[in-house]
Structures are given as C-alpha cells and as structure tokens.
Amino acid sequence: MPKSTLYQLNSLKADWQQQLSQAITDPLELLNLLDLDATDFPLIQQASESFQLKLPRAYVDKIEPGNPDDPLLKQVMATAAELDTDENYCADPVGDLQSMPVPGLLHKYHGRVLLITTGACAIHCRYCFRRHFPYSDNHSAKNQWQESITYIDQNTDVSEVILSGGDPLILSDSKLQQLIDQLNSIDHVTTLRIHSRIPVTLPSRITDQLITTLTSSNLQICMVIHANHSNEIGDEEQTALRHLNQAGITLLNQSVLLRGVNDCSVILSNLSHRLFESKVLPYYLHMLDPVQGASHFRVNEKQAVKLLKDLRNKLPGYLVPCLVKETAGEKSKLPLFEL
C-alpha cells in the first residue's frame, strides 16, 4: 500500500477514535454547550449515575441550541423521569439473559444468532433496552469469540449471525476482521447482519478501511442502522451511508417509537424520506421495550397503530416500516396491525 494512503487511513482512524475519546459525559457541560438552563433539567446528575450520559460532539452539532425539547436531545439527556419506578418496567425486558446458551450469544429465533460483541457504544440512548445489561460478564469477545464460534459451528441451522452490543462498530478493524474471518470459515453461515447506531452518531467511523473489512468475506452483509429522527441524518451521515451502500451493503433502518421524539406521522414520514435519500430502507418501527428508567418514552399501542395508519396514508408502501413489539419468549417479533 502506498505510504500516502496508509497515512490517510491512519488519520481517519485516529479521527473517529479521537472523537470518541472527546465524547461528552458531563450533563452540565452539555447544558452549557447548548445554552440550556439547568433548572429545566432537575436531577440530571442523579439520573445519569446508573447510566452515564454520553454523546459525541458530532451529535451535539445536530441539536438545536436553546431548545430543551429538541428530539435528539431528548434521546440522550438524562432526566428526572428516569428515576420513577414502574412495576411493568424491568432490567431485562426482552428476556436476553434467558436466551444465552453461551456467554454473549443470544439464540432466540430460528436460523439466526446474535453476538453481544461489546458493551461500548458511541452514544448512550436513554431508552436503550440493554441499559442494565451485565456486559462485563456477557460479551462474546471475552474469550476471543471462541465459545460463540464453536456454538455456531455446531448448530448447522444457523445461517445468519447478527453483530450487536453495545455497538459492534466500536470494535477496531482488526477485531472485526478476526471475527468476520472466523464466521466466514463456517460453511452454513451465509449472512452477517450488523446492528449499529454509529452511521448516525459517529459517521467518521465509516472509513474506507472499515468498508474493506466488512466486505472482505463471502458473507452477504446487511447493516441495520438505528435512526429515530431525520435530524440525525445530516450531510456527513448521508455520505457515510451512501459509501456503505456503494460497497454493496444492504442498508435497513429500525426506529423506536418514542414519546416526544418521533410520535408524529409527519416526523416519521420525514424520516422515511431522508432514509431513502440516503439509500436506506425503513424496516422496523419498534414499540418501546419496557426497560426500567424509560417509561416516560412510552407510546401506547392504540396511538402507535393510529400513527402507522396515518403514515400509510402519506407514504408509498416501501417507505412504511413494520410496527412491531418484542415479547420475551416469543419466536419472532410480533407485528401490530391496524384494525
């Protein structure tokens, strides 16, 4: 490889890692940067104690200064409502810990398994259904993937492996390469699906080297990005997504339906259009998983179904996501239909 190209790649790599190390974790610093009044956000320090606030500066740039109701801010800002308790909300709302035959590998559905590759993310989303997940005991990189790879190798009906976390794109290119090579050597694995919020939270991570790594095998690659609002997809994010698409990676989106963020058919319609412009197809619109600390984001099923009907009246079918909820113990996500 020419020296200049190598230098360029190293600079890019350093760039995203540097941005990650400079992520904002102090709620007061975030308020200050956004010119917001602390009295509008009582108990933020207490609320961020059990789940630290974290967001890259690139994400801060997409939040409107002075607007406490900004839909991106609402996804990341710790709030007093997280301290409310509700008996219907728990630490493991989708039964992850009951579905782990080996540490860090979930086998819930036929033909596919999910690897918890890391506990780290570029951003901490307050509604995250894994916000209480015991990552230190349960991620598959702990033993260099070996137990997980052995399990997949022995289960010949598994054709698709899903990389999740945390965010799998936080891993270094060399770690990802090592994992992809191991999966590629298993004949019955044909598809690699990557769930990542990084394309819309830290787009500098989508380097040429990363794309080379992801497309280095015979596996079909699908990436599911997690965008909840069109404001999350600025020019830089759109460029990153188009690069992934140009490399032959199938791009889908899943959103979580969140009160105060995207519980409006106009907002969801705008998101679908922005995704399509960025070469991403809407896939799922998830009901909130009932995780402890996130009950204030809940939209009830009746409202959700009504929203979907409104969305269907605004958009062509290929831009309407499937409204689903996940219930522990079920063999698939459950779609919610209009009456």
Q: What are the residues binding ligand SF4 (CB under 6 A)?
A: 121, 123-125, 128, 130, 165-167, 197, 226
Q: How far is the CB of 217 from ligand SF4 (least distance, A)?
A: 24
* Token output for 280: 């991403």
Nearer to ligand SF4 among residue 105 and residue 315 (C-beta):
105
Q: How far is the CB of 32 from ligand SF4 (least distance, A)?
A: 23
Q: How far is the CB of 26 from ligand SF4 (least distance, A)?
A: 18
Q: Is 102 within 8 Å of 147 (Cβ atoms)?
A: yes
Query: 123-139: buried (b, 16+ CB within 10 Å) or exposed (e) per residue?
Result: bbbbbbbbbbbebeebb
Q: How far is the CB of 122 from ligand SF4 (least distance, A)?
A: 7
Q: How far is the CB of 302 from ligand SF4 (least distance, A)?
A: 25
Q: Is 268 within 8 Å of 309 (Cβ atoms)?
A: no
Nearer to ligand SF4 among residue 113 and residue 189 (C-beta):
113
* Token output for 325: 């909820």
* Token output for 236: 């830089």
Nearer to ligand SF4 among residue 72 and residue 189 (C-beta):
72
Kindly calculate the radius of gyration of the chain based on its CA atoms and give it in whole angstroms.
Answer: 20
H/E/C letters for each residue in 134-177?
A: CCCCCCHHHHCCHHHHHHHHHCCCCCEEEEECCCHHHCCHHHHH
Nearer to ligand SF4 among residue 56 and residue 165 (C-beta):
165
The 3-state DSSP composition of the chain as helix, strand, coil percent (nearest 5) reads 40, 15, 45
Nearer to ligand SF4 among residue 128 and residue 189 (C-beta):
128
Within the chain, what is the greatest distance between any pair of CA atoms? 62
Count CA atoms closer than 13 A to 78's CA, side-chain side: 24
Nearer to ligand SF4 among residue 128 and residue 280 (C-beta):
128
Mutual orientation of helices 265-277 and 301-314 as an angle, nearest 10°? 50
Nearer to ligand SF4 among residue 198 and residue 315 (C-beta):
198
For strand 105-106 and strand 112-116, is the pairing parallel, antiparallel, or unpaired? antiparallel
Q: How far is the CB of 197 from ligand SF4 (least distance, A)?
A: 4
The whole-angstrom separation of Cα 91 and Cα 290 is: 9
Nearer to ligand SF4 among residue 226 and residue 229 (C-beta):
226
Nearer to ligand SF4 among residue 124 and residue 193 (C-beta):
124
Q: How far is the CB of 277 from ligand SF4 (least distance, A)?
A: 23
Q: How far is the CB of 120 from ligand SF4 (least distance, A)?
A: 8
Q: How far is the CB of 132 from ligand SF4 (least distance, A)?
A: 11
